[in-house]
Structures are given as structure tokens and as C-alpha cells.
Amino acid sequence: MALVVCLMQFCVINPILDAYGFTIVMFPLVFTLLLVSILTIGASGYVINDYFDTKIDEINRPDKVIVGHGVTRHQAAVYFQTLLIIGNIAGIALAIILRNITLVFIYAGVSGILWFYSSSYKRQLLIGNIMIALCTFLCVFLVGYVNVKGLILNYPDAELSAPVQKCISLSVAMIYAWTLGFGLFAFLLTLLREMVKDIEDIDGDTEMECRTMPIVWGINVSKIVITVLTALTAATIFYFANFKIIFKEDNITFVYSIILILFLLMFIGQLWMAKCKPAYSQASLTLKIIMVLGICYSVVFKILICY
């Protein structure tokens, strides 16, 4: 998560702001609060997920169970509350600095999503998958949202000439376009990985009477759904690679998109050949690699916009 936030900030948003000659006042403090809030709330989500999933993990991943072994349930609850409080305090401080009450509701909403996901929704058909994918999207998009609010706060329209206002509007549009693009990519890849994990964890989920996609619809139907969603992801990548927002002649982006699509095809092959848990774990690992490669396109973006 820290890598994603830093890449979005320093390889996508900062180059856009530099291209138009803008800066954000109090940037170090704003970025620090943003990073702390995302990491601590995200970490609290992992803790509460382990807290509620102890019995399922005893079946699915007995060698990775922490709560009840290295950490007591009481300690896990304290860790969750502490991390959540720190994250929301940082979020509230960020909202006060940017004078944006919406941020408070976003942080409160994400905190609620993580709790309800771990306690019940992850055991229901598709709802839990979509919720965790939405949190991943917000992790990316929130970086752009915070920068846009900081930019607008630093450069109020009433004090700017028409040309500068136009540059502000272009900067805002660029930031939103790229963070939405990266966020959509993260959403789709996370959704795919959550679906594969449901197949991987079918034994423990069945024992605990969960209603995940492979349990309700069966493994073959789940593979069809995942294949269709993968095809949609590949089509979206190809579309954005050819939808030139800045770069008119950009063969690098086209080649990069082809590499990602080839990895997606490899994932589909692994998925349909998989018959056991280790094989599904390998397919899930491929999705992780694709996600890292996709987010690292931000480095390519910085090179292209700077040179």
C-alpha cells in the first residue's frame, strides 16, 4: 500500500503539477497524514480479518494462523482498535487541513466496510469481493482526491486569472483521469484475486457455511465468471493504452499493455488447468505480479511526461 501511494504521488501527480507549475502548500504534512491514515486503516483491516477468520484459516492456512497462537484474541482486538483510531485521527486532521468534510465520511465509511466485510460480508456471494476491491480502488483514488482538494485550496478561483484557472482545471482533470485509471485497474485485479482466493479456500469456507461464488455457483461457473472479468480487464487495458490523454506518439505504453495482456492470458491458462489448491495459489500469485506491473507503469508515465 505504501508503494502504491508513493508511486501515485511522486510518479503521477507530482509530474502533472510540475508540468503546469503548481505546488501544494504544506505538502509534506498532507502526504504524511495521507500515508499514515491509509496504512493504519489498511493494517487494521488485516487484523480484524484474522480475528474473525481464525476457524476458517485453521482449515485453509493452518501454518499462517496468528490469532490464538502468537497473538491472543484480546491483543488482536486492541491492535485493531489502536490502528483504526490512529488512522481516523490522521484522516480527520487531513480533512481539517484541507477543509474537506467529505474525507471524514470516506475514512469512516472505509472503516465500516472493513469491519462488516470481515465479520459477515466476506462469507456472502460477491458482496465481500466487491467491498475489498472498492477499498483497493479508494487506496489509489484517495491520493488524487487529496491532491486535487489541496490544489483548489491553495489556488482559489477568485484570486486567479482566466489562463491560470484553465491550467488548474486541466491539472485537476489530468489527476482524476490517471488516478481513476490506476484505481480501476487495481479494482479489477483485486476483484479477480478475491474470486480466485474463494476457489482456493473452498474447503474451509464450506465447513463454516459460507456462501462464496464457488460454493453457490460451483467451480466451473466461477471460472467462467473470472474468465469474462479477465477479458473485460484486458479490453480496458488495451482501450486506455490507445486513448491518448497526453502522449500522442507513445509506443512504450502500447508495448506495456501487450505485456500485461499476455500475463492475463497466462493467468487464464493457469486458472483452467488448476485442479488443486497449490495450482490456484500459483494463479493468484500471477495476479499479484500483474497488479505490481500495472501500478509500476506510473514510473513509465513519469519518464514520458518529464522527457
Question: DSSP per residue over the chain, as a string?
Answer: -HHHHHHIIIIIIHHHHHHHT---TTHHHHHHHHHHHHHHHHHHHHHHHHHHTHHHHHHH-GGG--BTTTB-HHHHHHHHHHHHHHHHHHHHHHHHHHT-THHHHHHHHHHHHHHHHHHTGGGSTTHHHHHHHHHHHHHHHHHHHHHHHHHHHHS-GGGS-HHHHHHHHHHHHHHHHHHHHHHHHHHHHHHHHHHHHHHHTHHHHHHTT---HHHHH-HHHHHHHHHHHHHHHHHHHHHHHHS-SS-SS-HHHHHHHHHHHHHHHHHHHHHHH--SHHHHHHHHHHHHHHHHHHHTHHHHHHHHHH-
Q: For residue range 184-211, list pLDDT tens digits in order.
A: 999 999 999 999 999 998 888 888 778 8
Rounded Cα distance, 105 and 88, in Å: 10
pLDDT score, position 193: 95
Q: For residue range 95-141, list pLDDT tens digits in order.
A: 999 999 999 999 999 999 988 888 787 788 889 899 999 999 999 99
Grid coordinates representing 258 are 501487450
Mean pLDDT within 271-293: 94
Q: Interhelix angle for 102-119 vs 127-154, to 10°?
A: 160
pLDDT score, position 37: 96
pTM above 0.85, yes or no: yes
The average confidence (pLDDT) of the chain is: 89
The confidence band for 243, taking pLDDT boundaries of 50, 70 and 90, is low
Rounded Cα distance, 271 and 282, in Å: 9
Q: For residue range 207-225, list pLDDT tens digits in order.
A: 877 888 999 999 999 999 9
Q: In degrees rounded to 5, what are phi and psi of residue 222?
A: -60, -40
Q: Who wins on pLDDT, 19 or 69? A: 19
The confidence band for 231, taking pLDDT boundaries of 50, 70 and 90, is very high
Contact 291, 2 (CB under 8 A): no
The confidence band for 248, taking pLDDT boundaries of 50, 70 and 90, is low
